[in-house]
Structure 1
Amino acid sequence: MAKAASTMTYRNPVLPGFYPDPSAIRVGEDYYMVTSTFEYFPGVPIFHSKNLIHWEQIGHVLTRESQVNLLSRNSSEGIYAPVLRYDNGVFYMITTDVYGISNFYVTATNPAGPWSDPILITYGNIDPSLFFDEDGKVYVSAQAGFGETSHIIQYEIDILTGKALTEPVVVWEGDEGPWVEGPHLYKIHGTYYMMTASGGTGPMHREIIGRSESPNGPFEMLSYPILTHNQLKDHPIQYTGHVELIDDVHGNWWALFLGVRPQNGKGSVLGRETFLAPVKWSEDGWPMIDNNEGHVSLQMEVPAIGEQRAIQSFKNRVMTRFSSKGLGLEWMYTRVIPGSDAVSLTELEGCLRLTGNANGLREGGANVFVCRRQQHHCMRIETRLMYEPIHEGEIAGIAARLSDKSNYSIGVTRQDGRAGILVTAWRQGAVTNYFTPIKAQVPVRLSIRSDENIYEFLYTLDGTTAEWISLGAMPAQNLTPDVDGAFTGVCVGMFASGTEAGSSAPAYYDYFEYEGFVE
C-alpha cells in the first residue's frame, strides 16, 4: 500500500468542543465532515479539509424550518448522528430527528448548500446510514431495539424517493453490549465490513467490527474492539467510539471518532469532541485503531495527508464585531432562529439587538440565546451591553449553557425597583440566584471565565481600563454531561429573557469576545 513520504504533527481533537458523532467522506482530493447538533439550529455543521486535520466550516445542512422544526424538542433531543455520503455527483446527509420526523435524508450538489427538503425513510430507530454498492443498490443500516436489545437492521431503498424496496432484516447484534448503534457498512478490498459502536457513549464505549462476502451478512465479528480506551483509566482521552473510516489520497486509512477529555476524572464541559487517528490493517484483513494500547494521543505524528501544513492553529481569540452582513457560521441558536422581533443586526449599526420573550434559559421553546461552542476548558467570554430593564424580572446578559436544566448566567436585571447584576446557576433543575445592586448606569461589561474547576462571573461599569469585579464562581462539574446526562457540551453566548407576559426592553451588544487558553 502506498505511503506518503513525509510526516505531519497534529493535535487531537481536530474539532475541539461539542462536535460529536463525526461522519466524513472523500471526494477526489477533498474531505467533508458533519457532526451532531441535537436541539441547536442551524443543524449539522459541514466542514471541508484538504488533509483531514485542518477543517473549515463551509455551512450547515439544516437551515430551514421546511427541513426540520425543533421548537418542541427538549435538551439532547433533535438531530442525532448524521451520516455524510456521496454518489454520482450528489451529496447525501442521513440522520434522525428524535421525537420529530424520525429518519430522513437530504441531498445537495454543493456541500455548502443549499440542501433539499427531507426525504423520509420507513424503518429504524436512530443512527441510519447509507451505503451505495457497486451494483447500484442502496442500503440503509439503522439501529433498532433499546439498550441491551439494540441491534442493526438493514434494507434496500429507492434513493430518489426513500421508498423501501425490501423488508428490513437483522444483520448485526454486536458483542452483547448495550447500545449497538452508529452502523456503517463499507466495501473495502472486496470485503463488506459492518462497523458499529457498543457499550453506550460513556466509560465502556467501544467500536466493534465484522466482515462478510455479502452486504447483508452473516458477518464474522472480530472478537475484540478496534477502538476503545475503556481499560486506560488515566489516559487523557476517554469514551472513544462512533468511528468513521476514510481513505486518503495516498491509499492510507484513517478513523474519525468521538472522545472526551475528562478534567479531574469528572467528565468534560466540552462534551464529546472529534478525534483523528491512523488505521493499521492487520495481516488477516482487520482495520485496527487503538484497543487499549494508548496509540491515540493528544499530539500525533502521522504520514502527511494531501497538502502539508504546520500543526493546526485554532483561533484561540475571536472578537466578533456585529454588522448587518450577519453572523459567522460558528453561531447558532437553541431550537429555532428567533424572529426579527427578538434578534436583529440591522436596528442599530454595529450592534446585536436581543429582545427577550417569556422563555428564559430554563424553559424550552424559543429561547433568545445566540451562542457558539466552548472549545477550551480554560477560556473567557466578554461583552459590552447597553440595556435598561423596565420590568421586574426581565434580564439580558451572557451565559454558559449545557442544557435547559444546567446553565450559568450573568446579566443585568431589575429587582425590588433596583437595577443590578444577577448571577443565576441552574444545576440539574435546582436554581441559585445572587443579586448585586448597581447604579443605573450603562453600558455594562460582563465576563465569564472558566478553568477545569470553576466558572467565574465578573462585571465592570466603567471604561475599558476599569477593574473587573468578581461575583464569585460555580463548579464546572455541574455543567458536565457526566453529571447532567446531556449529549451536548457547553455553548456560550448572549441571551435575553422577558417577563411571564413576554415584555422586555431591548438589549444591545456591540461585541462578543471569546478567548481560549491551550491546556
Structure 2
Amino acid sequence: MKYNNPVIKGFYPDPSVCKVKDTYYLVCSSFQYFPGVPIFESRDLINWKQIGHCLTRESQVQLGEVTSSGGVFAPTIRHNNGRFYMTTTNDTTRQNFYVWTDDIYGEWSEPIYVDQGGIDPDLYFEDGKTYFMSNGKDDNGIGGIVQCEIDIETGTKLSPSRSIWQGTGGRYLESPHMYKINGRYYLMASEGGTEYGHMVVYARGDSISGPFEAYPDNPVLTNRNLGGYELQAVGHGDLVQDDDGHWWMLHLGFRQIGQWLTYHHLGREVFLTPVTFGEDGWFTAGYNGTTLTSFETDRISNHVAQQEKKIFTFENTDWNLDWCYLRHPAQENYKLDIDKLQLKGTEVSLDTPKSPTFIGIRQRDFNAEISCDVKLTSGEAGITLYMDEHHHYDLAVQKVANEYKVIERLNIGDIKSIEHEVDLGSDNHTTLVIRANHERYSFFIHANGEDLLLGTAQTRYLSSEVAGGFTGVLIGLYAHGEDSAAEFSKFKCEYL
C-alpha cells in the first residue's frame, strides 16, 4: 500500500513510541501548552487517534510564566511489567522527571524527579533494572549521552551518571534512545539541531554502558541535502517493531511553505519511515537514507486505508483532546459546550508569557478556511493565528464606547499594527473568516451574504525561521480585557 507523510499533521514534535500487544502508543512534546504531552494510539502505524494527555494537573508540571518554547521538552514513552512510563524535561525549571500509569486511558501519577541534568530523557528496562539517559554532562563534567541506573519507584540514582557516547561530531547531540536487538545494544540519537541540518545517527555495542561503535554510514536518516524538497529537518526518531518483525522509525520533520521558500509555520510533525536491518546487523532507513512524502510498502496491508480528517468543528472535536490552553488556565473564564464557547477575558493579553483567556487547536495543513461567529458583550474577542507571544495575527471584534468594530492586527516581533478595521455600528455579532494557503493568510468578515476582505499577511512571519522556537501555529479563540465577554459558535476549520 501507499501511505503519505506526515502521519500526524501539525505541531506534534519529538515523537516517541512503544508497542503493547497489538497497539502502538505515541507521545509528543507540548512546551508551554496545557494539558501536556498528548498521547496517540494506532493499530497500523499510519492512522493515529489521540486518546489523552500525560500531564493533566497543575501539580504535575509547572508552567507558570514559561515563555514560548519553554516548558515540556521531548518525552519518551515506555512500557514495563504492565505499567506505562513517560519521562520528559521541564526545560524552564531544568528538571527531568517521569510519570506512570497502569491505565493508558486514565490519569498519570505525580512526577518522580531524577537528579541528572540535560534534556530528552529516555528509560530502558532490563533484568529488573532501570537505566535513565539524557543528553548533557555527567558527574565528571564530560558531555555526551549520559546514563545512570535508577530506582524506578523513587527516581533515586543507584549509580553515578556517566557519559557513554559523544556522537559523531554533529552539533546538539540529543534525543537518545536505547534498544536491545538480536543481542546487541543500539543507541540512537540526533545531531545537527532540530532545523535544516537535523539527522539521525546511531551506534551499537555489546554492553548497555558501551563502548559503542558508530554506524559507518551515519547519518542513517536525514533530508539535509535535499534542497527544494518539501520535507526538511528530519530527526529525533524512535524505533518500533511490528507484528511481522519489520522495524519502523517514528520521527519529526517539517514541511516548508514552498520549494525554495525555506520557512515553516505548521510546526514539527510526525513522520513514519521504514527501517531495514542488514545481515551485518546495521540498519538503514528510508529511501537512500531520506524520508519521502509517500512510501510504497508491502509491510502494511492493502486493506488498510489512511484516513484524514478534513473538517474540525466544536461538535466533532473534544475540548479535552483536540484543544489546549496557554499555560495553566483560569477555568472560571471558560464555558465549554458541545456547540458553543463562552469566554471571559482578563487584563492578560496574548503578548505576555502568562495565561490569557485562550483555547486553541493546531493548524494541520497549509490550505484551510477558518470561520466562527463571534458575539461580543464587551472588550475584545476573536480568532488568533498564534505562534508565540511576539508573533501572532488577530482577527477580532472590539467594543469602543457603545459601538463595535472588527480589526485585523499583525504582531511581528516588536511591531504591533492594526492594519485594517471595519465599523459594525451597534451590531455586536459577526462572522469572522480566515483563508490560508502556503504563503498567505487572508482576513474577512462575512456580512449580507458576502465576504469583505480586510487584508492579508504572509505566513513566513509566523514561521520558526522568523519567530524562533520549537512550536507551530495554533488557531486560537480568545478574549481580552478586564470586563470582556464573548460567545463563539459555528466554528469550522476545513482543510482544502
TM-score bracket relative to the smaller structure: over 0.9
What is aligned with 2:298? 303
Q: How many angstroms does 1:263 deviate by?
A: 1.4
Q: How many angstroms does 1:436 deviate by?
A: 2.4
Does residue 413 in structure 1 map to residue 398 in structure 2?
A: yes
Does residue 56 in structure 1 map to residue 52 in structure 2?
A: no
The 2-side partners of 1:22 and 1:309 are apart by: 26
Secondary structure of 1:303's aligned partner = coil
What is aligned with 1:234? 228
The 2-side partners of 1:151 and 1:60 are apart by: 30
- Pick from 462, 466, 473: which aligns with 1:483? 466
- Asked if the contact 1:356/1:496 (under 8 Å) is kept, the reply is yes
Does residue 266 in structure 1 map to residue 262 in structure 2?
A: yes
CA 1:39–1:448 in 2, change beyond 3 Å: closer, same or farther? same
What is aligned with 1:497? 480
The 1-side partners of 2:350 and 2:328 are apart by: 14
What are the residue-to-residue correspondences of 1:269-308 with 2, within 5 Å?
269-290=265-286, 293=288, 295-305=290-300
Secondary structure of 1:363's aligned partner = coil
Secondary structure of 2:351's aligned partner = coil
Does residue 507 in structure 1 map to residue 486 in structure 2?
A: yes
CA 1:387–1:14 in 2, change beyond 3 Å: closer, same or farther? same
Amino acid of the structure 2 residue aligned with 1:460: H
Residue ranges of structure 2 left out of the alignment (5+ in a row): none
The 1-side partners of 2:279 and 2:366 are apart by: 41
Q: How many angstroms does 1:350 deviate by?
A: 4.3
Does residue 468 in structure 1 map to residue 487 in structure 2?
A: no
The 1-side partners of 2:359 and 2:303 are apart by: 33
What is aligned with 2:344? 355
Secondary structure of 2:466's aligned partner = helix
- Asked if the contact 2:178/2:186 (under 8 Å) is kept, the reply is yes
The 1-side partners of 2:290 and 2:388 are apart by: 33
Secondary structure of 2:297's aligned partner = strand
Q: How many angstroms does 1:150 deviate by?
A: 5.4
The 2-side partners of 1:43 and 1:233 are apart by: 34
Secondary structure of 1:120's aligned partner = strand
Amino acid of the structure 1 residue aligned with 2:457: M
- Asked if the contact 2:399/2:405 (under 8 Å) is kept, the reply is yes
What is aligned with 2:319? 327
What is aligned with 1:5? none
The 2-side partners of 1:328 and 1:384 are apart by: 22
Q: Of Structure 1 and Structure 2, which has the larger fraction of its residues in strand?
A: 2
- Asked if the contact 2:412/2:461 (under 8 Å) is kept, the reply is yes
Identity of aligned residues (%): 36
Amino acid of the structure 1 residue aligned with 2:329: I
The 2-side partners of 1:418 and 1:431 are apart by: 23
What is aligned with 1:184? 177
Relative to the length of structure 2, the TM-score reads 0.95
Once the two structures are superposed, residues 49-102 of structure 1 have per-residue CA deviations (whole angstroms, 9 ceiling, x without a partner) of 101111111111110011113121000000000000000000000000111361
- Asked if the contact 1:322/1:511 (under 8 Å) is kept, the reply is no
Amino acid of the structure 2 residue aligned with 1:128: P
Q: How many angstroms does 1:482 deviate by?
A: 1.4
- Asked if the contact 1:322/1:351 (under 8 Å) is kept, the reply is no
- Asked if the contact 2:223/2:291 (under 8 Å) is kept, the reply is no
The 2-side partners of 1:345 and 1:274 are apart by: 29
Amino acid of the structure 2 residue aligned with 1:104: F
- Asked if the contact 2:376/2:485 (under 8 Å) is kept, the reply is yes
Does residue 427 in structure 1 map to residue 427 in structure 2?
A: no
The 2-side partners of 1:102 and 1:433 are apart by: 40
The 1-side partners of 2:406 and 2:169 are apart by: 53
- Asked if the contact 2:190/2:200 (under 8 Å) is kept, the reply is yes
Does residue 404 in structure 1 map to residue 410 in structure 2?
A: no
Amino acid of the structure 1 residue aligned with 2:408: V
What is aligned with 2:131? 139
The 1-side partners of 2:349 and 2:154 are apart by: 41
Once the two structures are superposed, residues 386-426 of structure 1 have per-residue CA deviations (whole angstroms, 9 ceiling, x without a partner) of 1132xxxx310011101111100110113476421111111
- Asked if the contact 1:67/1:118 (under 8 Å) is kept, the reply is yes
What is aligned with 1:3? none
The 1-side partners of 2:492 and 2:304 are apart by: 26
- Asked if the contact 1:262/1:268 (under 8 Å) is kept, the reply is yes
Amino acid of the structure 1 residue aligned with 2:296: E
What is aligned with 1:161? 154
Secondary structure of 1:58's aligned partner = strand
The 2-side partners of 1:475 and 1:287 are apart by: 42
Amino acid of the structure 1 residue aligned with 2:359: V
The 2-side partners of 1:22 and 1:308 are apart by: 26
Does residue 84 in structure 1 map to residue 63 in structure 2?
A: no
What are the residue-to-residue correspondences of 1:28-43 with 2, within 5 Å?
28-43=21-36
The 1-side partners of 2:86 and 2:289 are apart by: 32
Does residue 257 in structure 1 map to residue 262 in structure 2?
A: no
What are the residue-to-residue correspondences of 1:440-451 with 2, within 5 Å?
440-451=426-437
CA 1:301–1:272 in 2, change beyond 3 Å: closer, same or farther? same
Q: How many angstroms does 1:486 deviate by?
A: 1.8
CA 1:408–1:214 in 2, change beyond 3 Å: closer, same or farther? same
What is aligned with 2:2? 9
The 2-side partners of 1:156 and 1:66 are apart by: 26
CA 1:90–1:294 in 2, change beyond 3 Å: closer, same or farther? closer
Once the two structures are superposed, residues 431-487 of structure 1 have per-residue CA deviations (whole angstroms, 9 ceiling, x without a partner) of 11133222221321001111111111111244xxx1011100011000111111120
The 2-side partners of 1:73 and 1:372 are apart by: 20
- Asked if the contact 2:94/2:117 (under 8 Å) is kept, the reply is no
- Pick from 10, 13, 35: which aligns with 1:20? 13
Once the two structures are superposed, residues 84-137 of structure 1 have per-residue CA deviations (whole angstroms, 9 ceiling, x without a partner) of 00000000000001113611000001112210010011002111100001x221
Relative to the length of structure 1, the TM-score reads 0.91
- Give the root-mean-square deviation of aligned CA atoms: 1.9
Residue ranges of structure 1 left out of the alignment (5+ in a row): 1-7
Q: How many angstroms does 1:321 deviate by?
A: 3.4
What is aligned with 1:119? 112
